[in-house]
Amino acid sequence: MNKKKCPYCNNSKCIKKGKRDGHQRWQCKNCKKKFQANKKALPTKEELFCLYTFSKQTLSELSQEYHLKTNTIQKLFDEIILPNKTHNPRTLSLAVDTTFFDDFAVVVFRD
Ligand SMILES: [Zn+2]
């Protein structure tokens, strides 16, 4: 019994299906998709978006790392539904002070 898990449906019933460039290929008996043994599991589109947004990876870098076309990644990003930002206004007392120097100024806002 092999322990290889399908990166697409997480099924553990996978069979060896030849080699490509020296890497073992596998086929999932559930979804019939083929994948490479040592390939990183695909992150979810939300995880990809976090890498893109917060880890500042470019589409090109993500494309190389996960063997996806940049167009594919862009389409995944388009499918993500971001939650609406809610604003909760509050009252404040704002003090603003500006100090001018020769060619620039510093503005300080203080609540
Ligand atoms: Zn599968």
Quote the ligand 1 centre to 29 CA distance (angstroms).
Answer: 7
Tokens for 106, please give them: 């510093």
For the whole prediction, is pTM greater than 0.85?
no
Q: Quick one: 51 and 34 in the same domain?
A: no
pLDDT of the residue at 1: 44
Cα 11–chain centre separation? 23
Quote the ligand 1 centre to 65 CA distance (angstroms).
Answer: 21
Q: Quick one: 33 and 46 in the same domain?
A: no
pLDDT of the residue at 52: 93
Structural domain of residue 77, as residue ranges? 42-81
- In a domain, residue 6? The reply is yes
- In a domain, residue 9? The reply is yes
pLDDT of the residue at 105: 96
Q: Quick one: 75 and 62 in the same domain?
A: yes
Q: What is the pLDDT of residues 20-75, one digit of tens each?
A: 877 788 999 999 999 887 656 678 899 999 999 999 889 999 998 888 899 999 99
- In a domain, residue 105? The reply is no
The average pLDDT across 8-12 equals 88
Alpha-carbon dihedral sign for residues 16, 17, 18, 23: negative
How many domains are there within the chain? 2
Quote the ligand 1 centre to 44 CA distance (angstroms).
Answer: 15
Considering just the CA atoms, what is the radius of gyration of the chain in Å?
24
- In a domain, residue 62? The reply is yes
Quote the ligand 1 centre to 34 CA distance (angstroms).
Answer: 8
Give the ranges where 1-111 is alpha helix by DSSP (H): 45-54, 59-66, 70-79
Among the ranges 7-11, 45-49, 106-110, which has the highest mean pLDDT value?
106-110
Q: Quick one: 50 and 29 in the same domain?
A: no
Tokens for 33, please give them: 């998709």
Q: How buried is residue 11: exposed, middle or buried, by Cβ count under 10 Å (0-12/13-18/19+)? A: middle
Alpha-carbon dihedral sign for residues 21, 71, 59, 62: negative
